[in-house]
Amino acid sequence: MIALIGGSGFIGSTLGRLLTEAGKDFCIVDKSPSPWFANRYRPADIRDLEALTRALKGCTQIVHLAAEHKDNVVPVSLYTEVNVEGTRNVTLAARELGIEDLLFTSSVAVYGFVHTETDETGAVRPFNEYGRTKFAAEEILRQWQGENPEGRRLVILRPTVVFGERNRGNVYNLLHQIAGGRFAMIGPGTNMKSMVYVENVASFLLFLLNSRAEQGIFNVVDKPDFSMNELVTTVYDSLGAAKRRTMRVPYALGYLGGLGFDLLGKILGREFSISAIRVKKFCATTQFSSQRVLNTGFCPPFPMAKALERTVKWEFGAANKSGETVFESE
């Protein structure tokens, strides 16, 4: 049986559907019930070793998806409690239960801000607690695998920003602004962005679950990369709308505005979709190589342009989406 730790979330729910279609036996191990797989749900918080070990009984493979990942987690110690110590509990439970096959979703956040296309050998320079704790979790998992390198398999996925239907993160906020005609380009818009569609991430995970020969680290990226200007044009094309004249804001002014929203958020005790770190991330070039994934023989089922079109049409098409399950993320 395959255990999806954190499987009630965005990637896990998509992977659960693919596993169901493939006739695979799996369970969802999460602190929150699964929106679609209630009969497969086993409650456990990865910070609770006893509950986690109990939930993993009978499993032979683990896909570890659980994480604290948003930019504004409070208290900050939750990043360590969940991402680091929670992962340590996963290895402790795996040792006790004799589970020797583990797939972990880390993040390209471990590289920090990059200026050229970066592969899996890139320097680790995280700029936030999320990236720092994701890499710390990787180190714990490498230690676990190193105790029995011939008998244990460890695969680490480092996806870039993941987008898709039902996701309510930074990519959705951007698409929503463009679709609503409220988008303002901060900076010249020439910076390049690597992104990946949730269906392609889940499909690669399924590929790895079926092919136990693959090990190591994989950046998970859909190609080609778009500049921010190209991304805006692609979204307009997906909407079947004429490209509107885009208002442009200098980076310095946009970053100052982000700081202002940060201060206002602290005063009012609420979160705004604009913040200094989001402006910085929006304007940064983040390009990553996907060659190692392609070398496995895996072919992503959805090209980048098609994935964006599917997402835009589902989110902003005519159908009523009220009551639909959505997932909060960055």
From the candidates 41, 79, 111, 130, give the one annotated as an active-site residue. 130
Residues 6+ apart with CB under 8 A from 21: none
Residue count of the chain: 330
Cα–Cα distance measured from residue 180 to residue 316, given in angstroms and rounded to the nearest whole number: 9
Listed residue (313, 288, 310, 305) closest to 120, CA to CA = 288
User: Is 255 tagged catalytic?
Assistant: no
Cα–Cα distance measured from residue 34 to residue 210, given in angstroms and rounded to the nearest whole number: 23
DSSP notation for 82-114: IIIIHHHHHHHHHHHHT--EEEEE--GGGG-S-
DSSP notation for 228-297: HHHHHHHHHHHHT-PPPPPEEE-HHHHHHHHHHHHHHHHHHT---S--HHHHHHHHS-B-B--HHHHHTT
Task: State whether residue 27 is helix, strand or coil.
Answer: strand
The answer to whether residues 309 and 209 touch, using CB atoms and an 8 Å cutoff, is no
| Residues annotated as catalytic (active site), given as ranges | 130
